[in-house]
Structure 1
Amino acid sequence: MEILFDQMPNPFTYFVPLFFLLIVAEAYISYREDKELYSLKDSLASTWVGLGAAALNTLTKAYQIGLFFLFYQLFEPMRVEFLGYENLGWAWWVWVLCLIGDDFNFYWHHRFCHTIRIFWAAHLVHHSSEKFNLGTAFRNGWTIFLYKPIYWIWMPILGFNPVMIALCMSFNSIYQFFLHSTLVPRIPVFGQIFNTPWVHQVHHARNIEYLDRNHGGILIIWDRLFGTYMDKDKHLKTEFGVLHPPTKHDPLTLNFHEFNDIWKDVRSVKSWKAKFMYVFGPPGWSHDGSRKTSKMLQQEWLQQQKATPTQKEEQAELVAQ
């Protein structure tokens, strides 16, 4: 285990210069064409959050790999007895399966990050920016590394080498860096299978109709298969960020303010069911109906779209009152 871990290359080392050059290029284009893709305050927040995430990811890498190796070795006798092999090896087709399996895991990990509040608290920082640029890709939650590997446990159990799994996870993260830009147009054929910046804008949008869509990493087919895909409407102005943005933009607030809000909500109710829902229910759930989940907001939005002009005026008057 130690030999394999020590020998494992870090793909990010080779891509950091490219990431830096692309961010500089995007910022230059933004300045030249007055697109306002970047702001100093937002960029500083992304930088500090990204540096903290990179440090924590490095510190927890041994824990992730160790966890994978634990299940990899623990289930080896069962693989030999019931499946007839010790491990899947390093053949090219195993790499392909590993990449597909990794992306499948990422989809469900990412989807649950948007539909379970405690996981949303860890992931929210990635959506906290009202700008959508390549620098946003580095806004990763500091606590997400603690539970993320759980979704990948089945892979070492089946015999995928833990180092291979870790490398595929890195390749997935590298690919996703390139998704965070508004300068890339729709890519017709490629975009039918693979995730692109065009549809990833939908994922980062706070428009009601766009909420909780397009969770895929490399592949967009998971969203098509599981009913979460939505194409970007070129006629609709995309608004980025979260519905209830934090009041401060320091890295500690961005990473932990939602955990603090969860704690306040849990303490505010006596019912154990309500306490459970405030932690594991969907973001926006409340025991008294004072807040709304994304599904509730989208249902209201759909009703408004179906309403006649007179009904819309009446609804607007009720809201104003």
Structure 2
Amino acid sequence: MELIGKLSIYVLVIVLAASMLEAFVLSRMHKGTDKAFDWHEVWISLADLVGRKLLAFLPLSLATPVFAFAWEHRIHTVTTNSALTVILLFIGMEFCYYWYHRVSHTVRFFWATHAVHHSPNQLTLSSAYRLGWTSKITGAAMFFTPLVWFGVRPEVVLAALSINLLYQFWLHATWIPKLGWLEYVLNTPSSHRVHHASNAAYLDANFGGVLIIFDRLFGTYVEERADEPCRYGLTTPTTSRNPIVVETEHWKSLAKDVVNAKSVSDAVGFVFRPPGWLPNGEGETTEELQKRAKRGDKAIEAS
């Protein structure tokens, strides 16, 4: 455990150093241009990181008792002492991560936390560690419970998830081009730029962690196009430079909608339906935004 703790510190230092170096270079490159670098985005990401590290000391995780129950009733005990077992764990982790990530975009309760990660209006390496303060409270890690139930120790599952997230650090770069045939197998910076884009054509796509194969399998893969430059941030951009506001604005709007709901079914809908859902069907869900964009394209073509 002491070795793992030291490795975590070393990794954190490398991640912070790399993101600060990128920020410095990009700020120099784009100085005085319409792509001027916004250091406030970096500071908010750092505040998010510090907040999560402090909250980690509090016993707030909903996943902990669920993992304990799954481990107690596991159907097998997996030992990661062979290459085959590690490969199966990797694929299982990818599968669970895909669905965790997809649900985080399609269920507003989980989106209230995940939206923080998508709030930067510029995509940089520092965006990678802006993950939201409330993931432990919402029990997001419970999506990986099947791995524990199959017999993988909870600490191994969490370690594998940490490695998965660490891989994704380099994906938050705008300066890395497409990587040829690797685009068919791996999640790459190009694929992840699409994931972070707020263009209607790019919404809710490319949910993979290390691999992109589940997106291709389940129909959520969208390729980055030269004729459709990525516009980063949320469909309704976050403009506040206050980290507290950034962390809580989606929870506040969710609570407001639930309190003002005209019926219990509407209140439940606000919690569990996609972000942007409205009872009258005239909201701004991904499906609705994409339909409007297509109608707009057709109108332009007709004119």
Aligned residue number for residue 209 of structure 2: 217
Which of 29, 32, 48 is the equivalent residue of 2:25?
A: 29
- How many residues are aligned here? 297
Aligned residue number for residue 55 of structure 2: 56
Aligned residue number for residue 319 of structure 1: none
**1:168-317 equivalence runs, <5 A:** 168-307=160-299, 309-311=301-303
Instruction: Using structure 2 for the length normalisation, give the TM-score.
Output: 0.90
Runs of 4+ in 1 over 6 A off after TM superposition: none
- Given that 1:37 and 1:132 are in contact with CA atoms closer than 8 Å, whether structure 2 keeps it comes out as no
- Give the CA RMSD over aligned residues: 2.2
Structure 2 SS opposite 1:178: helix
Distance 1:69 1:136 in 2: 32
Aligned residue number for residue 137 of structure 1: 128
Can you list the C-alpha shifts for 1:242-300, whole angstroms capped at 9, x where unaligned? 01133423222112111111121122222211111111111111123453211011012
- Given that 1:195 and 1:219 are in contact with CA atoms closer than 8 Å, whether structure 2 keeps it comes out as yes
Distance 1:290 1:64 in 2: 35
Which of 118, 121, 144 is the equivalent residue of 2:112?
A: 121
After superposition, the Cα gap between the structure-2 partners of 1:310 and 1:30, relative to the gap in structure 1 and judged at 3 Å, is same
Structure 2 SS opposite 1:304: helix
**Stretches of structure 2 lacking an aligned partner (at least 5 in a row):** none
- Given that 1:37 and 1:131 are in contact with CA atoms closer than 8 Å, whether structure 2 keeps it comes out as no
Aligned residue number for residue 43 of structure 1: 42
Structure 1 SS opposite 2:221: coil
After superposition, the Cα gap between the structure-2 partners of 1:24 and 1:308, relative to the gap in structure 1 and judged at 3 Å, is closer
What residue identity is the alignment partner of 1:42?
Answer: E
Deviation at 1:8, TM superposition (A): 7.5
Structure 1 SS opposite 2:172: coil
Structure showing greater radius of gyration is 1
Deviation at 1:123, TM superposition (A): 0.8
Distance 1:134 1:288 in 2: 39
Deviation at 1:98, TM superposition (A): 1.4
After superposition, the Cα gap between the structure-2 partners of 1:7 and 1:66, relative to the gap in structure 1 and judged at 3 Å, is farther
Can you list the C-alpha shifts for 1:187-241, whole angstroms capped at 9, x where unaligned? 0122211101111001111111111111111111111111110010122221100
After superposition, the Cα gap between the structure-2 partners of 1:269 and 1:163, relative to the gap in structure 1 and judged at 3 Å, is closer
Aligned residue number for residue 75 of structure 1: 73
What residue identity is the alignment partner of 1:75?
Answer: H
Distance 1:162 1:141 in 2: 22
Structure 1 SS opposite 2:4: coil
**Stretches of structure 1 lacking an aligned partner (at least 5 in a row):** 1-5, 80-85, 312-321
After superposition, the Cα gap between the structure-2 partners of 1:177 and 1:269, relative to the gap in structure 1 and judged at 3 Å, is same
Distance 1:148 1:200 in 2: 21
Can you list the C-alpha shifts for 1:102-140, whole angstroms capped at 9, x where unaligned? 121111111111111111111110011101000011111
**1:82-161 equivalence runs, <5 A:** 86-92=76-82, 93-146=84-137, 147-161=139-153
Deviation at 1:304, TM superposition (A): 2.8
Distance 1:186 1:218 in 2: 15
- Given that 2:120 and 2:238 are in contact with CA atoms closer than 8 Å, whether structure 1 keeps it comes out as no
Can you list the C-alpha shifts for 1:123-167, whole angstroms capped at 9, x where unaligned? 110011101000011111111123112111111111112222121
- Given that 2:121 and 2:238 are in contact with CA atoms closer than 8 Å, whether structure 1 keeps it comes out as no
- Given that 2:61 and 2:136 are in contact with CA atoms closer than 8 Å, whether structure 1 keeps it comes out as no
What residue identity is the alignment partner of 1:258?
Answer: H
Distance 2:163 2:177 in 1: 23
Aligned residue number for residue 20 of structure 1: 16
After superposition, the Cα gap between the structure-2 partners of 1:19 and 1:103, relative to the gap in structure 1 and judged at 3 Å, is same
Distance 2:234 2:52 in 1: 20
Distance 1:75 1:7 in 2: 29
